[in-house]
Amino acid sequence: MIDKLNALNKDTLMETLGITYTHFDGDMLRGEMQVTPAVHQPFGLLHGGATAVLAETLGSFLSSMQYDPKDNKMAVGTNLNVYHLKSVRSGKVTADASFVRKGRSMHVLHIDVYNEEDDKIAYAVLTTQIVERKE
């Protein structure tokens, strides 16, 4: 299942930033991103925007995964708040997305982001709207 999820990142921002999914259990999705100069801000720290991309990616994807592809539904982010708690210069960050509320047309998700020492470096709250997928 994880290999199929990661294959969806091809030719996307997630591939550009090196975001990969590592665990999925239905109500939680975990992913990671290497902290390299590609995701740094000018002072050599993990860019807050890259952290936001990681959080929104995991939350939106987890939200969309609640539907069978035959349902022709997907989730789109409508609001994202990211709280940066600690800086990171290198290594890997890991994020866990889980539900706060799972409604029929709206989901609220909480995403925690950790460094390699398991310190929480950021957390985010994401609201997604469930919409019809247009091909």
Q: How far apart are CA 22 and CA 38, in angstroms?
A: 21
Q: How far is CA 92 from CA 42, 113, 127, in A?
A: 19, 10, 26
At a CB cut-off of 8 Å and minimum separation 6, what does 64 contact?
73, 74, 75
Per-residue tokens: 27: 């109500």
Question: Does the annotation mark 56 as catalytic?
Answer: yes
SS3 state of residue 117:
coil
Q: Confirm if 86 and 119 have CB atoms less than 8 A apart.
A: yes
Catalytic entry in 15, 32, 56, 132: 56
Of the candidates 54, 23, 67, 70, which has an alpha carbon nearest to the alpha carbon of residue 126? 54
The set of catalytic residues is 56
